[in-house]
Amino acid sequence: MPRAKRRLAQHFLSDPRILQRIADALGATRDDTVLEIGPGPGALTEALAARAGRLVAIEKDAELVPALRQRVPAATIVEADALEADWHAIAGPRFLVAGNIPYNITSPLIDRALKPPRPPRIVFLVQKEVADRVSAAPGSEAYGALTVGVQAVARAERLFTVPAGAFRPRPLVDSAVLRLTPLGEPVVSDAEVEPFRRLVVGLFGFRRKQMVRALRELTGWSAETVGDALGRADIDPQVRPETVSPVRFALLLRALVDGGWQAR
């Protein structure tokens, strides 16, 4: 196994049983193209290639690319930064996404994977804490702005935990397999995604305050105007942001926009 680079937050997984479970979770068939993010030495790449009709992998570490091409000759290995590359230009119009992704860029990669047009399924091996947050229910300790942003456009499932000891080098925390399935009818439209994000992040900055107070601070509006917007979204003014569902946040956004609010 190649030496992992700390600057790239590399932690390699080689347990064949776990790799097979990750590949199974993606559910690729011979009719599918799979885009793998960060293949590393290629252990998951092999498992995915055995299932997919076509496999494309984006690897940032130039030193790993020659060995990857030799190990999985049927795959197309692209040397690039996955956060900067055009995934659709690389893999085509429709593909599934998988990867053992670096902890330090997990949220940006999830965000990138969920940009429209969205793939039918995404399976990422991530830090367990992140998987818990993304799949959390309203009112739970892990529920936050990341949860709302993801669940507004996708169904999130934390499938199983992968212990730290399964990786080389060993990370400080356990990981988990996260599966995201974009919704046929997202809670927010593509045009609403950015203002929705600003609203949710802004309100979670006051997560311990009641919604009426948090929204007044965010918008600068009067209690009466804020109360009207909350009423239109069917949100109790006394609850806190951490208890509000993605659907209610979307209704609130529309009520605010109708009232003249502009997300900045």
Position 88 scores a pLDDT of 97
**pLDDT reading at 242 higher than 90:** yes
The predicted pLDDT at position 76 comes to: 97
Average pLDDT on 235-257 reads 97
CATH number of 190-258: 1.10.8.100
d(CA 108, CA 79): 19
- The phi and psi torsions of 24 (rounded to 5 degrees) equal -60, -40
pLDDT single digits (tens) 30-52: 999 999 999 988 999 999 999 99
6-182, CATH topology level: Rossmann fold (3.40.50)
**Range with the lowest mean pLDDT among 100-114, 132-146, 163-177?**
163-177
Q: Give the separation between CA 91 and CA 85, rounded to whole angstroms.
A: 11
Looking only at the bridges linking them, the beta strands covering 33-37 and 96-100 are: parallel
If you average pLDDT over every residue of the chain, what do you get? 93
What distance in Å separates the CA atoms of residue 121 and residue 118, rounded to the nearest whole number? 8
What does the pLDDT average to over 195-202?
96
Domain with CATH 1.10.8.100 in the chain: 190-258
Across 106-126, average pLDDT: 96
* pLDDT band at residue 102 using 50, 70 and 90 as cut-offs: confident
Residue 7 has pLDDT above 70, yes or no: no
pLDDT at 191: 94
What are the structure tokens assigned to 41, written together?
A: 């030495």
The Cα 162–Cα 86 span in angstroms is 30
Residues of the chain with CATH 3.40.50.150: 6-182
